[in-house]
Chain A
């Protein structure tokens, strides 16, 4: 259980805006020379990163090292790795991000989180196992130099696959298109309604299904989207 907040909540005006509006403010601020735009962009980022904190944390907790599923972030390190992932996200958004949509922002954050987790695992393994050499030997995934002794080639291949997969789904429109390509109408509806924030019981009521059926269609649909096999039945 979380500790109750000691202070009354202070929610900025930006928190009443949609994710799309916030992304636009962030992008405008980054490209602007105007202090007011910068201030708005910082406020927008504060709300965006708070709204996405749990998403990034969840991605960190779900992380399994490509090709080595037994390598993951320890439960007591998830918050620390999340901090590192958010740092990597901000770096990407301030330096290399050229997108303008929520979908592009989320895709960039997923990629940054994935690389941050890989680096976190590598660094952690080096510290724990006392592998010889300096920690300087570990490179971040962005540098393109020496990857370190931990699975040099396999890691690169896996990164490439992940990047291709992420880029393929770089916009929510593409996700919507993938959902539309699913052959089962109920499956499509369940995924669509889930994405609109409905719970299992509400979806079950709308579609005349049982909640268990909704859960089953949801997980099957996600598997198909995840495998990129939406149209193959």
Chain B
């Protein structure tokens, strides 16, 4: 084989990748690298990377676009952008997957780590809210983040930093003092805009207060709530 042949092969593979990209066929770089001469695989990867840096958005069909919009990582990113839990809707499922734990297993270990046995159902609801972006991250105690870090084999700073990223709609959200009333509003199915003022809201918040327990304090009492320690 001459020295030119492998180069021509790289040119051809790059061209094939670019054609498939522009046609919206979702070509996989690793498949193309596998087809390159072994000693030229890195070179092809570098070429495709350079192409991707300047490539136009592909012409995806509606069906392909719908598939892409349902990719778990895409949905997690959107829930993070939309929600009130920072990047936790993206981070927590990813950490769970990495730790090879189901959500119920995380809940079980979380309850044990936080020494609140028997609260698993309530804790499961809160964890679900964090993963779906509907729980204000600013209300979650650092102790919960430390326990999550322990259970998921992650760094507490990583979890806290993710929680602190403001979403598109809410900044850092309401102060902890208002959190219970807003949560109560959510539970009643009211839009957030109604959460702040009416007397009915105060009454509902009072009712919510009566059920306020250790798990509520952990997940809604605020990052620095000393009673959570």
Contact = CB atoms under 8 A, between A and B. Distances in A.
Given A80-B98, A219-B47, A212 B165 contact: no
Interface residues of B, number: 70
B43 to A, nearest CB: 9
B28 A61 contact: yes
B209 interface: no
Contact of B29 (A58, A94, A219): A58
Given A46-B74, A83-B94, A200 B15 contact: yes
Interface in A158-197: 169, 172, 175, 191, 194-197
B14 A49 contact: no
Contacts of A226: 46-47, 49-50
B10 interface: yes
B15 A214 contact: yes
Contacts of B8: 212, 216
Given A42-B169, A62-B48, A10 B19 contact: no
Interface residues of A, number: 75
B56 to A, nearest CB: 5
Given A90-B77, A94-B166, 4 more contacts: A83-B76, A90-B165, A200-B19, A216-B8
Interface of B: 8, 10-12, 14-15, 18-19, 21-23, 26, 28-30, 33, 42, 45-60, 62-63, 65-74, 76-78, 80-82, 87, 90-91, 94, 97-98, 153-158, 162, 165-169, 193
Interface of A: 2, 5, 7-11, 15, 19, 29-30, 35, 38-39, 41-42, 45-47, 49-55, 57-59, 61-62, 64, 69, 75, 78-80, 82-84, 86-87, 89-91, 94-95, 106, 110, 135-136, 138, 140, 169, 172, 175, 191, 194-200, 211-212, 214-216, 218-219, 222-223, 225-226
